[in-house]
């Protein structure tokens, strides 16, 4: 089985340039702005419209990437304005971390592999790594997962807001039109909760950089071997999840696992699956997908 990256000696090696270098070379000369400890990543236009109504200011993060200020501690980046998927998410997360973020949380849609309530808030805890980005940050044998304490706090806030919550593994793949029936059957039987395009990449970046991370999914659709259900008949979704997801978890989420770059595996507190599956969706179920509102 082929496992990325092509040259494993890259682990532990310095990159030729980093976000600050890129901004210095290609930006307007002002460099990266200072962002607060917590940054939310958004993938739906409807959610961003709600954020824009509530935000009291907007700053440019990098070139066309912007941050909307929700509170003193929590800002929001509309990732969908640059695209969707693992590479874009990793790039935006890198920029936010370089600007000072100490916790990065994805707030987006996902496909449910289990029969969960349509208005559930899904909180993935571990990732099946079926994309490519995460392997450039962490070797195949290392786990990739959300930060447990941050997941606990988000679940507390969302449950308190009346959302049923579920935890479990998420399957991260970049091939939306190659979510095959045998894979879905296997992952459903294994108890995998959701499917996404970004979580494994986001979590790998954050683990490598030593910052806290988590994902909150609304149910965008259901994956069943008997047939795809492209709509989840929920009365509440991402827009209603925004307030509890941006409450005061930020001040206590500064769980830098080692305070620095390229954090050793032994120092990590994230848990998760590590192995690439033998066969190669969408955490965002973004505006590019017909199931999103």
Three-state SS at 136: helix
Q: What's CA 28's distance to the chain center, in Å?
A: 28
Strands 103-112 and 194-196: antiparallel
Exposed, middle or buried by CB within 10 Å (0-12, 13-18, 19+), for 284? Answer: buried
How many Cβ atoms from other residues are within 10 Å of residue 100's Cβ? Answer: 13
- Examine residue 5 and say whether the peptide bond preceding it is cis (omega within 30 degrees of 0): yes
Separation of alpha carbons 179 and 223, rounded Å? 9
CA angle 123, 126, 129 (to 5 degrees): 125
Whether 245 and 196 have beta carbons less than 8 Å apart is answered as no
User: The domain 35-253+261-267 is classified under which CATH number: 3.40.50.510, 3.40.50.620, 3.40.50.720, 3.40.50.1580?
Assistant: 3.40.50.1580
What does the pLDDT profile of the chain (293 residues) look like in tens digits?
A: 557 888 888 888 899 998 888 777 765 666 777 888 999 999 999 999 999 999 999 888 877 788 899 998 999 999 998 888 999 999 999 999 998 999 999 999 999 999 999 999 999 999 999 999 999 999 999 989 999 999 999 999 999 999 999 999 999 999 999 999 999 999 999 999 999 999 999 999 999 999 999 999 999 999 999 999 998 998 899 999 999 998 766 544 444 443 333 433 323 333 343 333 333 233 344 454 333 32
Q: Backbone phi, then psi, for 85, in 5-degree steps? A: 105, 175
Separation of alpha carbons 47 and 33, rounded Å? 23
Closest to 166 measured CA to CA, from 109, 108, 222, 125: 125
């Amino acid at each position: 089985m082929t496992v990325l990256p092509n040259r494993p000696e890259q682990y532990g090696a310095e990159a030729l340039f980093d976000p600050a270098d890129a901004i210095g070379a290609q930006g307007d000369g002002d460099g990266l702005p200072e962002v607060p400890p917590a940054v939310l990543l958004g993938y739906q236009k409807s959610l961003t419209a709600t954020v824009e109504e509530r935000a009291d200011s907007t700053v440019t993060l990098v070139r066309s990437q912007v941050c909307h200020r929700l509170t003193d501690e929590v800002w929001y980046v509309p990732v969908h304005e640059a695209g969707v998927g693992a590479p874009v998410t990793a790039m935006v997360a890198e920029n936010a971390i370089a600007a000072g973020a100490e916790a990065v949380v994805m707030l987006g849609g996902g496909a449910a592999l289990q029969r969960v309530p349509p208005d559930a808030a899904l909180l993935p805890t571990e990732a099946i790594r079926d994309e490519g980005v995460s392997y450039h940050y962490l070797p195949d044998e290392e786990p990739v997962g959300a930060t447990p304490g941050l997941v606990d706090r988000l679940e507390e806030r969302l449950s308190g807001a009346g959302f049923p919550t579920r935890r479990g593994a998420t399957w991260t793949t970049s091939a939306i039109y190659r979510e095959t029936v045998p894979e879905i059957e296997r992952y459903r039987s294994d108890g995998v909760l959701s499917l996404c395009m970004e979580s494994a990449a986001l979590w790998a970046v954050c683990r490598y950089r030593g910052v806290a991370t988590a994902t909150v999914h609304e149910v965008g659709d259901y994956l069943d071997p008997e047939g795809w259900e492209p709509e989840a008949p929920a009365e509440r979704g991402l827009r209603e999840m925004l307030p509890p997801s941006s409450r005061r978890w930020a001040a206590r989420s500064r769980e830098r696992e080692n305070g620095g770059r390229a954090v050793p595996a032994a120092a990590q507190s994230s848990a998760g699956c590590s192995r690439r599956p033998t066969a190669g969706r969408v955490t965002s179920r973004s505006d590019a997908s017909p199931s999103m509102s």
